[in-house]
Amino acid sequence: MDLATEYLGIPLKNPLVPSASPLSKDLNSARQLEDAGAAALVMYSLFEEEIIADDDDLEYLLHGQSTGYGEADSYLPAHGCFDNCLDNYLAQVEKLKEALDIPVIASLNGISNSGWIEHAKDIQQAGADALELNIHYIPIDASESGRIVEQRIVNILAAVKQHTSIPVTCKLTTQLSSPGHVIKQLEAAGADGVSLFNRFYQPDINLKTLKIDPVLTLSSPHESLLRMHWIALMYGQTMLSLAATGGIHDAGAVLKCLLTGADVTHLCSVLLKQGSGVITQILQDMEQWMEEHEYESVSQLKGSVSKDKAINPVGFERLNYLRVLQSSQRS
């Protein structure tokens, strides 16, 4: 069975790529992921807030994040832990490159188009094979239009591309008015891929303290459906590499994402819950399904069930919507 795929122009032995998580902070857990069969590794993010030194900017950004209900809230280091973050991150890129044979994709997480972006070149020099950008911006200012919010993503990507020659991919939020349009703009600005989608970690209110409780809930499998849907819609409309991230917990979800057109599938929550051994299990289950359904390779099944194959895609979407609503009325 040929499980090989290509992501961001990099040939991979299979489509299973652990996404950004603390598992890449430790060389042993990174090695375990590789031994279990991971085809590449996305590192935990280096945050803009960790790079910038100016305290005023830092306070502003931290305030923005904590009222923005952002994913970053939960894993942003507490104020005061910002010493040598960039150096430590670069050292970790070097160590991972030394310890692993699989490609290492570094991750930058930020929201402003300013000096921190230049450090993308340091990450490249440290040996990263590619870079993932997580522009986790929550538009809390109601006067800011969708166009401005989306242009921010494209501008940051374009600025990062100016400082690097390695492939760069963007991890996108679901909250875009027209994800396809943003993806096309990113493509025009020089992106190499997109990762669909970032998860939101919605903090809760503690009724005893009346404070906001930052809670990090791991994903559940139904979240993969949204990813699958958008991969299917984008397949054939862009030349960018497509990665699915969010709710992918088993071989079934991996296969469905590939069938709709993903080049790779990212795993995170399932690795944190079940350990790296789940990668081996997923690979075995994939091979078994492919054998039973007479597929010989991942490239053969990639995109074979996607909107691209529908004659009237808008009609196809509407019809599905209608069917879903009607089926719920019958049950």
Binding residues for ligand FMN, rule: CB under 6 A, are 19-22, 44-45, 75, 107, 109, 134, 171, 199, 216, 218-219, 245-248, 267-270, 272
Minimum CB–partner distance for residue 107 and ligand FMN (Å): 5
Minimum CB–partner distance for residue 131 and ligand FMN (Å): 12
Minimum CB–partner distance for residue 271 and ligand FMN (Å): 8
Give whichever of 122 and 223 is closer to ligand FMN, judged by the CB atom. 223
Q: Which amino acid is at 56?
A: D
List 297's β-bridge partners, or say none. 2
Q: Which residue is nearest to ligand FMN (CB)?
A: 219
Give whichever of 47 and 235 is closer to ligand FMN, judged by the CB atom. 47
Minimum CB–partner distance for residue 229 and ligand FMN (Å): 15
Give whichever of 22 and 315 is closer to ligand FMN, judged by the CB atom. 22
Angle at 39 between CA 38 and CA 41, to 5 degrees: 75
Give whichever of 198 and 295 is closer to ligand FMN, judged by the CB atom. 198
Q: Where are the alpha helices (DSSP H) in 10-145?
A: 27-36, 48-51, 55-67, 72-75, 85-99, 120-125
Q: Where are the alpha helices (DSSP H) in the chain?
A: 27-36, 48-51, 55-67, 72-75, 85-99, 120-125, 146-163, 179-188, 224-234, 251-260, 269-274, 277-292, 298-301, 313-330
Give whichever of 87 and 296 is closer to ligand FMN, judged by the CB atom. 87
Positive or negative torsion for Cα 158, 163, 164, 170: negative
Minimum CB–partner distance for residue 102 and ligand FMN (Å): 17
The tokens of 36 are what? 């279990």
Eight-state DSSP code of residue 199: P
How many C-beta atoms lie closer than 10 Å to residue 145's C-beta? Answer: 11
Minimum CB–partner distance for residue 30 and ligand FMN (Å): 14
At residue 4, the 3 state secondary structure works out as coil
How far is 255 from 242, CA to CA, in rounded Å?
Answer: 14
- Residue 48 contacts residue 116 (beta carbons within 8 Å): yes
Minimum CB–partner distance for residue 208 and ligand FMN (Å): 25
